Amino acid sequence: MKKLLSAILVVVMAAASASFAVSAEDEFVITDGVLEKYNGTAAEVVIPDGVIALGDLAFDGNSAVEKIYVSDTVGTVGYSTFRSCANLTELHLGSSVNKLGDNAIWKSYKLTVITVDEDNPYLTAADNVVYSKDLTALVLFPGGYSGEFVIPDHVTKISDYSFFGCENVTSLIIPDSVTEIGSHAFWGLSGIESIDLPDGITKIAEKTFCECTSLKSLYIPDGVKSIEFRSIWDCTALETVHLPDSLVTLGEDAFYNCPLTSVTIPAGTETVAKRAFVQCKSLEKIIFEGDAPSNTDKQLAFKCSKAKIYYNENASGFDGESFAGYGKVTFSDCETGHYYQYVSPCDTEDVPCGGFLKDLYACAGCGKEMLKTTDAVREHEIVRRDAKAPTCTEPGNYEYDECLNCDYTTYVQIPVTDHDYQATVREATCTERGYTEYTCSVCGHSYVEYTEPSGHDFGEDGSSETCSICGEKNPDYAPTPQTVFTDVKPDAFYAEAVGWALAKGITKGTSDTAFSPEEGCTRAQVVTFLWRAAGEPEPAAANNPFGDVGAKDYYFKAVLWAVEKNVTTGTSPTAFSPSETCTRAQIVTFLWRYNGAPEPESGRNPFTDVKRSEYFRKAVLWAVENGITLGTSATEFSPSDVCTRGQVVTFLYRSFRVQ
């Protein structure tokens, strides 16, 4: 596990040491907490704390930015905030974002990574797609996504503008769980040729399919009652469309500039709005299955010079020489329409209990069949089930009813009876688990509860020679040496650590009488101290890439071991720089990596000088959690300060006490 985590840390360290542009404060235009414009050229931008909203078009057209970190104080992202960010690849939303404006990421075609802080109570992200916190609404889709996407079946709503301008999506699979598709949701999905809509939706919202320029056919399912303003606008490849019998209202400009040649208006349609088929220059037939809709506008197919109105000769409302300004053609056969008559009730097998039954109709002209829903519902087919007594391990039930055709039931469970457990106890020792085994005297069922080893008691500070419980010797026991260093006072915070380091042979001081606790510690000294504390392990290989590390140097093996274990790397491929001093950030990072780079238990960061993007952030949080350091003040860690010899041995001492 340590090897795996260490390998990951090499990547993190490499990323942290790479150079990148960082935005300066004067590049942000902020008014009353609103970031109105970002004028910088940084590749990575962290929104300053205190900003509560990102204004409309704040990053519009910025081609330099690649990654944006939205701070936890931001609640609102405005209209087209990140529009046309040509090189934006990552967007990280903070814990307070609750509103994403229309077209927020339009034309940012490289954006493939979107995350949401896990503490955000409003939104969440899964596989770079933003959802409502309860995962029922799909809120925002990455503009750089390419290929097919299957919407998860926990989604019931596709929100306004959610797929706006995602031109590289080639196929979109929508589950039956979806009952609502918002306005502008699929605007600009120019890569899809067809799409299956779920049966549960009741309307095609405003501008849903605008500029889906590859869409060739569209089947609108039964249940849809309205097709709203410009909902299928400028779909320049659309050749066929099916309108459902449930359709009541066909909105204005609904099929603007679509190359349809024929469209059939269902008998139940009440309104065909003005310019419904405006600029459909290929349109030849508008077929009405029933009477003329009472609210049909007189310009329903404006500028469609080829169009003619087709209606059944028995239909009403088509009086006069023309209808809505267009020539009329009547029919009595089934060439352009059917005349349906009732035949019989249909089979109930496909109708769920409580669902409406359907009647069978057939066309009087050609015999084509059609099902129509009635007001009657299918009833349950009930059977009576027996009661069952509970046992120690299995629940029982009362007598109950159950439907043979669906999941309806009056089943009520009776809980299992209580076991009569007898306990057998073995106490835990310092090194071995104890347990209590419980066995039921009625049914024989048993289970075991373990107690963890108590651990040795080597005194409050771990300095006792033997365990007070079992008498085992303390492997870390070492008599506290009488410090001979004149510069190490007994009450100094590092005094105990210096004594430990001397007892363990980790360091000997800078002279016979001086430890020099305030001197900076070099890279060679730090890796040597850590190597000795680890037991001076032999490096697995003798390969030495560094020209400034010789085989006769006291730190030779320590450097090879540290690089081999990914505790640190050189300052270049051929140099280790052993004489350079270590900073506080570097030493806690070395210790964190040596300990396997564990994840901090909490993301809480008390230090204003330890930013989210810093390579040493997790190491600092881990060190604070484990009592290795508390920082130089309550709000500062001072990561760039030189780490003194006194601090280094203290960090080492506390770290090895944690293990």
Q: Which two tokens stand for residue 287?
A: 């077929």
Point out the least confidently predicted range of 13-22, 82-91, 324-333: 13-22
Q: Work out the average pLDDT over 259-277.
A: 89
Are 152 and 175 spatial neighbours (Cβ–Cβ below 8 Å)? Answer: yes
Mean pLDDT of the chain: 86
Please state, in angstroms and rounded to a whole number, the distance separating the CA atoms of residues 391 and 418: 9
Dihedral angle of Cα 189, 126, 115, 192, to the nearest 10 degrees: -10
- The pLDDT, as a whole number, for residue 183 is 96
Task: Residue count of the chain, please give it.
Answer: 659
Q: Which residue has the higher pLDDT, 11 or 441?
A: 441
List residues bridging with 647 in a β-sheet: none
Please state, in angstroms and rounded to a whole number, the distance separating the CA atoms of residues 278 and 258: 9
- pLDDT over 60 (residue 3): no
Are 128 and 112 spatial neighbours (Cβ–Cβ below 8 Å)? Answer: yes
Q: Which two tokens stand for residue 397?
A: 């039930």
- pLDDT over 50 (residue 12): no
- pLDDT over 50 (residue 290): yes
Please state, in angstroms and rounded to a whole number, the distance separating the CA atoms of residues 585 and 588: 6
> What is the per-residue pLDDT across 370-428, written as a single tens digit (0 to 9) for each?
777 777 888 898 999 999 999 888 899 999 999 988 889 999 999 988 888 898 998 88
* Residue 444 banded pLDDT, cuts 50, 70, 90: confident
- Domain chopping of the chain, boundaries: 263-273+281-332, 340-377, 382-414, 418-476, 495-658
Please state, in angstroms and rounded to a whole number, the distance separating the CA atoms of residues 542 and 534: 19
Q: What angle is formed at CA 323 by the lines to CA 321 and CA 326, rounded to 5 degrees?
A: 90
* Residue 340 banded pLDDT, cuts 50, 70, 90: low
Q: Work out the average pLDDT over 579-586.
A: 91
Give the single-character DSSP code of 27: G
Please state, in angstroms and rounded to a whole number, the distance separating the CA atoms of residues 580 and 568: 14
How many angstroms separate the first and last alpha carbons of the chain?
A: 15
Point out the least confidently predicted range of 322-326, 330-334, 640-644: 330-334
- What's the order of all strands across the beta sheet hosting 129-132? 123-126, 129-132, 137-140, 157-158, 180-181
Helix (H, G, I), strand (E, B) or coil at 245: coil
- pLDDT over 50 (residue 13): no
Q: Which residue has the higher pLDDT, 311 or 574?
A: 574
> What is the per-residue pLDDT across 225-239, written as a single tens digit (0 to 9) for each?
999 999 999 999 999
Please provide residue 104's backbone torsions phi and psi, each rounded to the nearest 5 degrees: -55, -40
Q: Work out the average pLDDT over 332-348.
A: 68
- pLDDT over 60 (residue 478): no
- The pLDDT, as a whole number, for residue 14 is 35
Give the single-character DSSP code of 74: -
Cα of 498 vs its chain's centroid, Å: 48
- pLDDT over 50 (residue 20): no
* Residue 150 banded pLDDT, cuts 50, 70, 90: very high
Q: Which two tokens stand for residue 582?
A: 């270590």
Dihedral angle of Cα 73, 79, 81, 85, to the nearest 10 degrees: 150
**pLDDT above 90: percentage of residues in the chain:** 47
Which helix (DSSP H) or strand (DSSP E) does residue 170 occupy?
strand 169-173
Residues 6 or more apart whose Cβ sits within 8 Å of residue 386 = 399
Phi-psi region for residue 655, left (φ > 0), alpha (ψ -120 to 50) or beta?
A: alpha
Q: Burial, 465: exposed, middle or buried (Cβ in 10 Å; 0-12, 13-18, 19+)?
A: exposed
Across 169-173, 284-288, 344-348, 455-459, the highest mean pLDDT is recorded for: 169-173
Q: Which two tokens stand for residue 122?
A: 């409003």
Of 160, 146, 224, whose CA–CA distance to 190 is shortest?
146
Q: Which two tokens stand for residue 514?
A: 């001086």
Of 235, 320, 333, 327, whose CA–CA distance to 277 is shortest?
235
- pLDDT over 70 (residue 355): yes
Point out the least confidently predicted range of 99-103, 180-184, 602-606, 621-625: 602-606
Q: Which two tokens stand for residue 239?
A: 């050749």
- pLDDT over 60 (residue 17): no
- The pLDDT, as a whole number, for residue 260 is 92
Please state, in angstroms and rounded to a whole number, the distance separating the CA atoms of residues 207 and 215: 14
- pLDDT over 60 (residue 8): no
Q: Which one-letter amino acid corresponds to residue 2? A: K
Are 637 and 630 spatial neighbours (Cβ–Cβ below 8 Å)? Answer: no
- The pLDDT, as a whole number, for residue 123 is 97
Please state, in angstroms and rounded to a whole number, the distance separating the CA atoms of residues 429 and 425: 13
> What is the per-residue pLDDT across 616-646, written as a single tens digit (0 to 9) for each?
899 899 988 888 888 889 899 999 999 999 9
- The pLDDT, as a whole number, for residue 477 is 62
> What is the per-residue pLDDT across 37-71, written as a single tens digit (0 to 9) for each?
999 999 999 999 999 999 999 999 999 999 999 99
Q: Which residue has the higher pLDDT, 213 or 631?
A: 213
> What is the per-residue pLDDT across 453-475, written as a single tens digit (0 to 9) for each?
888 888 777 777 688 888 887 77
Across 3-12, 87-96, 525-534, 599-608, the highest mean pLDDT is recorded for: 87-96
Q: Work out the average pLDDT over 516-545.
A: 89
- The pLDDT, as a whole number, for residue 19 is 32
DSSP sequence for 516-567 = -TTSBPBHHHHHHHHHHHTT-PPPS------TT--TTSTTHHHHHHHHHTTS
Please state, in angstroms and rounded to a whole number, the distance separating the CA atoms of residues 189 and 208: 10
